């Protein structure tokens, strides 16, 4: 069957508006469309393809597991899930892991666990969740309500209650909002969708201290920042602060759908059999692929390489900006970077994305004013140079 971009409009729900071209093949950090046009991929499936496209270790793991066992459900357990959970707990603060299919599901599990923990230990009055404006935690109704962007949560009827928001990096505002009713504070250790915004070091430490003061759990949403994206396995490891619950997804499977919630043994005890579940969570195929991704990412070579790529991207983007003066700020960590547009180009981030695609480079946006780069953690230096050269051509055309 021959399909085109026009076929999408005939058969798909119109909640997406994808690019005109249809990618059909990927290798490393390069992608080819139906017409054979090549693109350099700085988007990485929105911070998912941490090892690029069709990495040999992932293909091998998928092929081998695909010839063994595809699915069981959690009526049984399986070896890939247990192995992956063991590696995650050995590499982090966590003692226990719950597997899901996506970041939204991992965050949903984290929020439900926080509420159940508070109910069991302190009673029904302790149910308030505080999160941050411009935050993003998924598209389920609970997670999109906790996310601090009304544009995503309004218009679907009454929202889940006992959810409050304060501004990111405003410790005084958080302190004013917290009380003995607060059961959890949920935050990204670096806001992705909200504009690639890093927290002040003292802010993160202050949030942890306030959670301790009010017997509230600190929940880190590391769906985008996690699994090597910032140059450590998880971004919390660079903050000097340990959360009580952590959500992981995106890069965890390197392109195969999987999510995970990590927590301590004491907190995990409150999700007793029957309190929460997932048909596909812990699927053998997903866990086998994620284990292969873990084995590649969790090495000094790759994690140090992420920091090197951050320096290269920032330096090259600054050089481009010296010539065209389109960026107000170039920020972020590791391979999660944002270039905020100057006031002259405010609101036009998508124009830069589209212009980049026309020149053969795939980038993202983080809101209307920020161009976001989330490439493979192992993208070759030559591809960074070539991709940014293409992006500079796009900028030159846009600014005339």
Residues with Cβ within 8 Å of residue 158, at least 6 apart in sequence? none
Pairing of strands 163-166, 182-187: unpaired
Tokens of 249: 């997804």
In terms of residues, how long is the chain?
400
Determine if residue 265 is labeled as part of a ligand binding site. no
Q: DSSP secondary structure string, 102-164?
A: SHHHHHHHHHHHHHHHHHHHH-TT--EEEEEBT----SSHHHHHHSB-HHHHTTSSSPPSSEE
Query: What is the Cα–Cα distance from 233 to 238, expressed in whole angstroms?
Result: 9
Determine if residue 176 is labeled as part of a ligand binding site. no
Determine if residue 221 is labeled as part of a ligand binding site. yes
Where in the sequence numbering do the catalytic residues fall? 136, 221, 250
* 3-class state of residue 65 by DSSP: helix
Determine if residue 96 is labeled as part of a ligand binding site. no
Determine if residue 220 is labeled as part of a ligand binding site. no
CA distances from 103 to 4, 258, 354 (A): 29, 8, 27
Determine if residue 104 is labeled as part of a ligand binding site. yes
Determine if residue 237 is labeled as part of a ligand binding site. no
Pairing of strands 96-100, 128-132: unpaired
Q: Single out the residue of 183, 220, 204, 195 nearest to residue 337, CA to CA.
A: 195
Determine if residue 222 is labeled as part of a ligand binding site. yes
Which segments are annotated as binding site for pyridoxal 5'-phosphate? Answer: 103-104, 136, 221-224, 279
Residues making up the binding site: 103-104, 136, 139, 221-224, 278-279
Q: Which residues are annotated as a binding site for N(2)-acetyl-L-ornithine?
A: 139, 278
């Amino acid at each position: 069957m021959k399909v085109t971009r026009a076929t999408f409009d005939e058969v798909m729900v119109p909640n997406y508006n994808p690019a005109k071209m249809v990618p059909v093949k990927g290798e490393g950090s390069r992608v080819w469309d139906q017409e054979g046009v090549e693109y350099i991929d700085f988007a990485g499936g929105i911070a998912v393809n941490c090892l690029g496209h069709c990495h040999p270790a992932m293909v091998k793991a998928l092929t081998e597991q695909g010839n063994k066992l595809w699915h069981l459900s959690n009526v049984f357990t399986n070896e890939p899930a247990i192995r992956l959970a063991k590696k995650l707990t050995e590499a982090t603060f966590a003692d226990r892991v719950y597997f899901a299919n996506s970041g939204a599901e991992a965050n949903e599990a984290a929020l439900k666990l926080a509420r159940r923990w508070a109910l069991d230990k302190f009673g029904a009055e302790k149910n308030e969740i505080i999160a941050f404006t411009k935050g993003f935690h998924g598209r389920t109704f609970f997670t999109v309500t906790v996310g601090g962007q009304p544009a995503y949560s309004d218009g679907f009827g009454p929202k889940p209650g006992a959810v409050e928001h304060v501004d990111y990096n405003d410790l005084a505002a958080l302190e004013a909002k917290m009380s003995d009713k607060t059961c959890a504070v949920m935050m990204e250790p670096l806001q992705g969708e909200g504009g690639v915004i890093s927290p002040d070091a003292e802010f993160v430490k202050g949030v942890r201290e306030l959670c301790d003061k009010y017997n509230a759990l600190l929940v880190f949403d590391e769906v985008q920042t996690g699994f090597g994206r910032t140059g450590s396995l998880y971004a919390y490891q660079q903050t000097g602060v340990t959360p009580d619950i952590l959500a992981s997804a995106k890069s965890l499977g390197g392109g195969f759908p999987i999510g995970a919630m990590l927590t301590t043994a004491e907190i995990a005890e409150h999700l007793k059999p029957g309190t929460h579940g997932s048909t596909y969570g812990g699927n053998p195929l997903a866990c086998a692929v994620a284990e292969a991704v873990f084995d590649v990412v969790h090495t000094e070579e790759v994690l140090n390489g992420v920091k090197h790529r951050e320096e290269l991207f920032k330096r090259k983007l600054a050089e481009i900006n010296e010539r065209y003066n389109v960026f107000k700020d170039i920020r972020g960590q590791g391979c999660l970077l944002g270039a905020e547009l100057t006031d002259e180009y405010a609101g036009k981030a998508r124009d830069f994305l589209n212009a980049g695609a026309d020149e053969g480079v795939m980038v993202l946006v983080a809101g209307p004013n920020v161009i976001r780069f989330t490439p493979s953690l192992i993208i070759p230096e030559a591809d960074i140079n070539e991709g940014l050269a293409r992006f500079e051509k796009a900028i030159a055309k846009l600014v005339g």
